[in-house]
């Protein structure tokens, strides 16, 4: 299986468990690995045969930007399910980083893998 990837996709959203976090939008950074077979797209030079970076990014800006989850864990899980369903992916890796959440760390977050790698 091949991978289409997006790194450092910055999206502002409402996220967090503390009262003050429920009143501001915070910046998240998403890294995505989308499991796919790029051979059909490559052989026909056809964008319609591979996940489009732009379509994935636009969909995530819409979904994540409009979400109000408390946990990055929940957000990562929902992003994985959404992209697997809408882009018909057999496998995905989602990394969600929350810069500035811990003062002494550059970023904290979660990384999950869903589906079956072939």
CA distance linking residue 15 with residue 17, whole number of Å: 7
Q: Which residue is listed with tokens 């319609």?
A: 48
> From edge to edge, which strands make up the β-sheet containing 2-13?
2-13, 26-36, 91-99, 107-115
Catalytic residue, from 93, 95, 98, 114: name it: 98
Instruction: Note if 3 is an active site residue.
Output: no
Annotated catalytic residues are: 98
């Amino acid at each position: 299986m091949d991978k289409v990837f997006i790194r450092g996709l910055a999206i502002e959203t409402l996220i967090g468990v503390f009262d003050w976090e429920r009143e501001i939008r915070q910046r998240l950074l998403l890294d995505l690995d989308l499991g796919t077979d790029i051979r059909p797209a490559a052989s026909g030079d056809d964008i319609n045969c591979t996940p489009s970076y732009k379509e994935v990014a636009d969909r995530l800006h819409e979904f994540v930007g409009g979400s109000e989850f408390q946990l990055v864990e929940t957000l990562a899980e929902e992003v994985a399910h959404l992209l697997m369903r809408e882009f018909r992916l057999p496998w995905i890796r989602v990394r969600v980083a929350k810069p500035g959440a811990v003062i002494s760390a550059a970023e904290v977050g979660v990384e999950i893998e869903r589906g079956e790698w072939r």
